[in-house]
Chain A
Amino acid sequence: DTGVSQNPRHKITKRGQNVTFRCDPISEHNRLYWYRQTLGQGPEFLTYFQNEAQLEKSRLLSDRFSAERPKGSFSTLEIQRTEQGDSAMYLCASSSGFLRRNTEAFFGQGTRLTVV
């Protein structure tokens, strides 16, 4: 399978715990994006990487959210001290270039987080 891979697919955690999600992009893609999607809404942009550099993180939802892409390949998204409002689908996407230059983004299947 050469598509975008995310794991785990589902995560249930207690409020206050930390969680980490992993995304493996399409291997030749140098851009990686994280989105959050709540029920009934479209995906909401969180952050993105060009290789290992995080080029935009101001739209992360709070300082409890952080993302890394240490070697320019896979990426992790961590949420510290989870809250019930963090329950959502977290989506990862990758592309081969700048999206405004008409390249296409491909999404993983997402990680569904439930905070209880």
Chain B
Amino acid sequence: TQLLEQSPQFLSIQEGENLTVYCNSSSVFSSLQWYRQEPGEGPVLLVTVVTGGEVKKLKRLTFQFGDARKDSSLHITAAQPGDTGLYLCAGGGADGLTFGKGTHLIIQP
């Protein structure tokens, strides 16, 4: 069974600060996706990373896939209250996506 561990589980910071959240596994994934989920809604896809060492940027969000394709990180620059939410990483597999438990992020104004 492929497992994804996300850290930290909870993070509360002030508006304007930078942060990084992590997604780690002992398994190799052919692709990894990051989602953001708000309460009562379904996950919304942010990005897919495929190649080891790949870096993708989405405005203030920077996503990196580890060289060995076992881990990933999400860095947010100058966090804003609108970034508040549950950030989920998910690895692609034969049957579907394996999700981590997520990082609950709160950005305080």
Contacts and interface: CB of A to CB of B under 8 A. Distances in A.
A45 B94 CA distance: 12
A43 B37 CA distance: 11
Given A42-B101, A45-B98, A109 B42 contact: yes
A45 B40 contact: no
Nearest to B104: A40
A105 B96 contact: yes
B42 A107 contact: yes
A104 B33 contact: yes
B97 A99 contact: yes
Contacts of B98: 45
B42 A100 contact: no
Interface string B41-57: 11111001010000000
A45 B95 contact: yes
A79 interface: no
Given A104-B45, A104-B48, A107-B42, A33 B33 contact: no
Interface in B77-91: 88, 90
Given A42-B99, A42-B101, A42-B102, A107 B44 contact: yes
Interface of A: 4, 6, 33, 35, 40-45, 48, 55-56, 89, 91, 93, 98-110, 112
Interface of B: 30-31, 33, 35, 40-45, 48, 50, 88, 90, 92-102, 104
3 smallest CB-CB distances across A and B, nearest first, come from: A42-B99, A107-B42, A99-B92
